[in-house]
Structure 1
Amino acid sequence: MKIKHPINLHKALTFAFVFGLMFLYQNFNIAAWVYLSLHGTYGILWLLKDRIYPDKSWEEEIPIGTGIVTFVTVGLYWVAPFILISQRIEASPPLIAVVIAINLLGVFLHYSSDAQKYYTLKYQPGLITEGFFARCRNTNYLGEFLIYTSLALLTQHWLPFVILGFFVTSVFMPRILKKEQSLSRYPEFATYQANSGLLFPKFWLTNSQESVINQRS
């Protein structure tokens, strides 16, 4: 079993799980439908990404027991729809607009940057310092963070934010720091690190840093 298998299973079941909650609690309000659309579509896009431009880091072989633990852990993301639907939480139109905007931005950053990374490394291995990664070294994780932030906002409950914080500290950051260590082998990484943010874009560059970026591009 590969580590991606329990994760992909979770993504594949998300639409059915959320709709099942809606049917179970007979809750078909606007907030529930919006959540179903956003989280369900995100799972479908994840599966399409895995087919079109898979992430090699998810190809690691793991024991079945670890796979079960991984599925249960990722299943914590289902707490948000359970709260939203079981408690019949309503969402105002302005909140829905903000949630959709943040979610769309997150989806764009997540899947587009992953596509750039996959196809760049496929034909030109090395340090990627342009495009989505010019000012942020982990744009894909930033996108995923925004996606789950939008879903937590829609839920309007503190627990989904705690769960997101758990994933940021226990999953996102260890993988980000491992990547940082791997990229540090490139001589130009120190300059790139100074010119870009770890998770959030770094826009406040000095004139000398701007000139370095212009020379690279």
Structure 2
Amino acid sequence: MKSTRALYINIHKLLIIPIVLGLMSLYDNFSIEAYIYLALHGTYSLLWFLKFYWFRDEGFRVQIPVLKGVFSIFLVMTGYYVAPFILISQQVKASPMFISVVLFFYIIGIFFHFVSDIQKYYTLKYKKGLITEGMFSRTRNPNYFGEIIMYLSLALFSKHWLPFVIIVSFTVFVFLKIMKQKDAFLSQFPEFEAYKKRSWLLFPKFF
């Protein structure tokens, strides 16, 4: 029995808001910090579904076995629930300056993640091939760069080391593997070597 890869990711995104609200109710924590976290992570999940509806990545249509989807995607992604659990259960408090830093990195991450995905979708829709302009001019994976920055901002909000370990692990064992596979695919294009020299795999190469 198989289902699309998107199913397990979408279930995870769908659960973000009810889980955070459930944690707030369970720990009787309706602080400004808890509501800000709800707004940040909840907004991301809503934007995810808008992206899925308007400019869906073709990779999400891939069919995979149900058990593989449950164990290698959904259960792995539950690690993203650790940050809100810590923040809410431990009644984490944050100064206005600290919150502004969290918001700064969150907004940067959201921008890179969604804007680059939009550029990729519409560029490939009308012109197949290597994308080397705009947000892809200095990094070959601006979407993953943005997503990682966004999740790091939520980890920062928790003021705990564990969410950082989870995100770094996810980056090394999941995102990095996907990015290397993408590089291997793009190497078929003759202009890839020149593009590779002026861009980095993940972080933007500004100099």
TM-score range, shorter chain: over 0.9
Q: How does 1:72-151 map to 2 (within 5 A)?
A: 72-151=75-154
| Letter paired with 2:10 | N
- The residue type equivalent to 2:59 in the other structure is S
Equivalent residue, structure 2, for 1:43: 45
Number of aligned residue pairs = 204
Q: CA deviation at 1:72?
A: 1.2
Residue number in structure 2 paired with 1:8: 10
| Matched residue type, 1:186 | F
Aligned partner letter, 2:185? S
Aligned partner of residue 62 in structure 1, secondary structure? strand
Amino acid at match of 1:122: K
Letter of the 1:14 counterpart: I
Residues 1:166 and 2:154 aligned together: no
In the other structure, the counterpart of 2:54 is 52
Q: Structure 2 CA distance, aligned partners of 1:156 and 1:99?
A: 11
1:49-106 deviation digits (Å, cap 9, x = unpaired): 0110011122211111112212111111001100110111111111100101110111
Structure-1 residue corresponding to 2:29 = 27
Q: Percent identity?
A: 50
1:146-180 Cα offsets, whole Å, 9 max, x none, are: 10010000000000000001110111100000000
Structure 1 alignment gaps of length 5 or more? 205-217
1:210 corresponds in structure 2 to: none
1:135–1:203 CA contact under 8 A, matched in 2: yes
Structure 2 unmatched ranges of 5 or more? none
Q: How does 1:153-192 map to 2 (within 5 A)?
A: 153-192=156-195
Larger Rg: 1
CA distance in 2, matches of 1:164, 1:102: 15
RMSD: 0.7
In the alignment, is the contact (CA less than 8 A) between 1:30 and 1:91 conserved in 2?
no
Post-superposition offset of 1:10: 0.6
Instruction: Please tell me whether the aligned partners of residues 138 and 176 of structure 1 are also in contact (alpha carbons under 8 angstroms).
Output: yes
Distance in 2 of aligned mates of 1:175 and 1:15 = 28
Partner of residue 61, structure 1: 63
Moved beyond 6 Å, runs of 4+: none
User: What TM-score, normalized to structure 1?
Assistant: 0.92
